[in-house]
Chains A and B, each alone.
Chain A
């Protein structure tokens, strides 16, 4: 219920101190209400006139509204504080996703991350708002009211005092069970959130298999399972508030009962009895509210825990080694580099060297490790073994800030943002001029697409707006690369695989000039590119099978010649 992380929040001591003061004020306001109301009723009961009670009624009203006034100030303070704290968490999480740990999204799912940033942080904010005043209120208010109760009538005070530990004990027992249930429910909720977005994303696939209707049923079933899980939690969680309520109402009833007896024999008078009847429900109110909000707080606590888990996931920030800007005479070398995915070893003992503005073709069958090699070169992952040196600087890999800022990476499936065509093109160079953009559009052959778009460059594209073909997405990625001339390293991962053969022919002519004056790594299985490479790395089963110029490799009759024969045969 109360996460210990709360006590580590910045400025929490001051907040708790103020909250304690507010709690004391509230308790005294309750006592004022009880006193004025009971005195007035007693006087009326004794036959006094209503007019004589004016002052008491005024005092009652002042206390009644005054208490809300305290709450007014308190919640204003808490709103601000809770937002600041929740927002700090949100920023930390986003900071991770967008700067230091992109893998977080892949391992946890887009749905989970967005839900954590938006819904989760909101839940945490609510949690702080709910829980902080309770930390102080639950102890202070009942204590003050109990002292007053003892002063008014020690028997009633005793009943109230005895009931309290029972309630706490019961809550501890019930809370334990409810906690397990609630954390299970939280997992169900996350699974459901992912399940729904996953189903929506694949809805066209489902439709093509004639399964979309059936999956509607699955959505309903998952939702119903969620309902059942929630109801099971609620039955237990509410059971505790049922018992709690019973304790509290029965205690009030018992106080009334005992007072009734002792009024009859004259050992108590009406005033203290009435005052106790006003005080008793207020005495139990904090703990009942605590129980009533238990569920919401648990949600918040769980949300806090899952956000913290995301935020505290080990950071994998790029290294900050000082690397020179890649130039004509720069050189890099990989020595004995290996990389394993959890399931299998993707690269082993890879050694290769590159210098200046060389164009290096990486060729191999699928699964030969060429994509993994490009991933390492781009710094998306770091090698498990071996060493890398860039211009003489020894590093563990290419996850270097100074390296990544020089690289343009063109993958198989470039992501197209839901934004205008222009924004997508200038993604790496937001300051590009119109002339530069126009040139890029021309170079990569996007002019045809542009002329079809209603607002040209300012048309929104990407998912949901205007769907692009694989070829068009690829051209946008090329345009991004074209614009950012400052990046001297180009990494291609099968960039033309999606393009039709005639477009590929066309695009090739336009792409080759882009490669001049840059270090290029070009992973492909299209042989015709090899004519334009200065050096060719032939991959086989995660190893470099051969490296050399096209002429050398053709002459050697090794792995490359073998692969080429297979590839050429492929067109037949």
Chain B
């Protein structure tokens, strides 16, 4: 990628600098002024005692230096305080926006998100990239710019007295301001990137394995994982130790440069101002002492440059993320009754030759209850994604009242409510979990729905009722209870169409039947599309559709199929249990 293209593609750094440039400019000004005042205090103090040592007879003779000693002495801490607050606030504001941007970027593809990203990696991306960006603005970009400004001003200040010495001084300090950081960056870039890659890897790996920790324990391989983790950790440590060693040596070299600069300043000031006692000689102490506070401005530069590499890497990765899709057109406006029409639909996943659905046609009028049956992998879930508009058909059309389903975007949630195979419970209160589909729902409505799905008793038994926090990953609730929570969510959402994507998996048949009855009762007047892999509840449907190998195989009312299809009868018998032997 050319430089120019890289700059154009940058959506994560410059736009944010621009958005917050005023706060940045203020912070930079305060940063430079802090060092100016720190140096000023020592300059005036040095001048003051030198001038006083001439024994001028009256304190009034040193009135001006004493005044400045006071101004600098009081001003410096205040400036520093303001600078810290301004820069932190600036950075944290940017961080909030960066987090939001990252979320929005990922949100566009949310339904198929798990396929393309590992949770651990995203956590790594977040913790590392965003977190590092934050640190790097504070620890790399900001101090570097401040140091450059201080450097320029210091050289100019010396240049007012002697341009030639200013040049020499600029060269010596330039070693520290430009050369050492450059060398640091070149020497460490690869290492820093390697370390970061290792850390991301470790993060992803650890998250994955912590999630599966009970399997490690049960397989009695816990110790094995530990030694594996330790080996990865050790590799990262080795890289870190090399970086630390480099940093120590570099600091020693930097100190030598500062020592040389201080010695040069002493020699120059001695030659330039010295020669006779007092008078101009008062400036010798002023210049020499005034230099030392500036070291604090230059010292962080090389470390900042090294960290800059991490920053570059993070920015590159963030820029590589797909751009958050903007909702280009307003969502189409359709009103219930909703007729769903699937017309000669074929579908293959991009880049895959396998035809998942092949010439499927089906129309579902408002209020019809349809069971879509099929084995796992038969394409029935893809059919559900097509109806919800998360996927667009390769050929043919899926429409709601004549509008292609894929055009609805997020607004589809107003028309179709979905109950997924696995219900995700957020680590929030039960109430918040239930109201996801309808944050405005009142407690009365929540309790009513809970009663419908048969969870009211359980909710009342919880230590804090609706305010009880669900445990991580919803482990507090059994599979069946989680499905009921999902149903409650969808009922609160109140959409004309309810799509059940194998919703009752894991429930015992008694509960399942009760639950399916509840679905049917509560879906009065609503379209109900039930994707399922067994026959439970099918008899309550208006219509059964069999999907096999991407095609519609059997179709008809349940009673009709039981009369006409041998295969249907066989499945029914197996499903029923002991009677079938």
Is A65 among interface residues, defined by CB-CB distance under 8 A? yes
The 8 Å CB contact of A502, one of B76, B118, B375, B418, is B375
Is B391 among interface residues, defined by CB-CB distance under 8 A? no
Is B496 among interface residues, defined by CB-CB distance under 8 A? no
Establish whether residues B214 and A472, one from each chain, have CB atoms under 8 Å apart when the complex forms: no
Is B165 among interface residues, defined by CB-CB distance under 8 A? no
**A259 to B49 CA separation, bound complex (whole angstroms):** 7
**A179 to B392 CA separation, bound complex (whole angstroms):** 55
Establish whether residues A249 and B202, one from each chain, have CB atoms under 8 Å apart when the complex forms: no
Establish whether residues A61 and B263, one from each chain, have CB atoms under 8 Å apart when the complex forms: yes
Q: Could you give, for residues 342-366 of chain A, a 1 whenever the CB lies within 8 Å of some chain B CB and a 0 otherwise?
A: 1110000000000000000000111
Is A450 among interface residues, defined by CB-CB distance under 8 A? no
Q: How far is the CB of B431 from chain A (nearest CB, A)?
A: 15
Q: Could you give, for residues 544-572 of chain A, a 1 whenever the CB lies within 8 Å of some chain B CB and a 0 otherwise?
A: 00000010001000000001101111111
Q: Could you give, for residues 209-233 of chain B, a 1 whenever the CB lies within 8 Å of some chain A CB and a 0 otherwise?
A: 1111111111111111110011001
Establish whether residues B97 and A256, one from each chain, have CB atoms under 8 Å apart when the complex forms: no
B2-10, B169-177, B277-285: which lies at the A interface? B277-285
Q: Could you give, for residues 242-261 of chain A, a 1 whenever the CB lies within 8 Å of some chain B CB and a 0 otherwise?
A: 11011001101100110111
In the bound complex, residues from chain A placing their C-beta under 8 Å from that of B122 are 197, 200
Is B377 among interface residues, defined by CB-CB distance under 8 A? yes
**A231 to B410 CA separation, bound complex (whole angstroms):** 36
**A61 to B577 CA separation, bound complex (whole angstroms):** 92
| Residue in A75, A76, A452, A528 whose Cβ sees the most chain B Cβ within 10 Å | A528
Is B478 among interface residues, defined by CB-CB distance under 8 A? yes
**A71 to B255 CA separation, bound complex (whole angstroms):** 11
Interface residues on B, range: 35 or more
Within 8 A of B (CB), among A383-427: 404-405, 407, 409, 412-415, 417-418, 427
**A499 to B378 CA separation, bound complex (whole angstroms):** 13
Establish whether residues A274 and B285, one from each chain, have CB atoms under 8 Å apart when the complex forms: yes
Is A433 among interface residues, defined by CB-CB distance under 8 A? no
In the bound complex, residues from chain B placing their C-beta under 8 Å from that of A202 are 424-426
**A264 to B50 CA separation, bound complex (whole angstroms):** 10
Q: A64-B262, A91-B230, A234-B88 are in contact. Are A79 and B81 (CB under 8 A)?
A: no
Q: How far is the CB of A410 from chain B (nearest CB, A)?
A: 11
Within 8 A of A (CB), among B392-446: 410-414, 417-418, 420-427, 436-437, 439
Count CB-based A-B contacts (< 8 Å): 483
**A64 to B218 CA separation, bound complex (whole angstroms):** 60
In the bound complex, residues from chain A placing their C-beta under 8 Å from that of B479 are 366, 412-413, 497
Interface residues on A, range: 35 or more
Q: How far is the CB of B552 from chain A (nearest CB, A)?
A: 17
Q: Which residue of B lies closest to A202 (CB)?
A: B424
The 8 Å CB contact of B103, one of A216, A234, A527, A569, is A216
Is B312 among interface residues, defined by CB-CB distance under 8 A? no
A7-15, A297-305, A462-470: which lies at the B interface? A462-470
The 8 Å CB contact of A118, one of B203, B249, B420, B502, is B203
In the bound complex, residues from chain A placing their C-beta under 8 Å from that of B42 are 277, 281
Establish whether residues A260 and B66, one from each chain, have CB atoms under 8 Å apart when the complex forms: yes
In the bound complex, residues from chain B placing their C-beta under 8 Å from that of A196 are 99, 123, 126
Is B160 among interface residues, defined by CB-CB distance under 8 A? no
In the bound complex, residues from chain A placing their C-beta under 8 Å from that of B411 are 210
**A61 to B267 CA separation, bound complex (whole angstroms):** 13
| Residue in B121, B218, B410 whose Cβ sees the most chain A Cβ within 10 Å | B218
Establish whether residues B251 and A568, one from each chain, have CB atoms under 8 Å apart when the complex forms: no
Establish whether residues B509 and A109, one from each chain, have CB atoms under 8 Å apart when the complex forms: no
The 8 Å CB contact of B426, one of A48, A83, A119, A198, is A198
Is A183 among interface residues, defined by CB-CB distance under 8 A? no
Q: A76-B248, A208-B413 are in contact. Are A409 and B578 (CB under 8 A)?
A: no
Given contacts A60-B262, A256-B69, 7 further A-B contacts (CB under 8 A): A119-B127, A204-B110, A270-B53, A499-B376, A528-B574, A531-B581, A571-B509
The 8 tightest CB contacts between A and B, nearest first, are: A210-B413, A527-B577, A500-B533, A464-B118, A525-B508, A245-B77, A570-B509, A253-B73
8 CB-based A-B contacts, threshold 8 Å: A47-B274, A208-B420, A213-B410, A252-B45, A278-B289, A366-B480, A409-B218, A470-B505
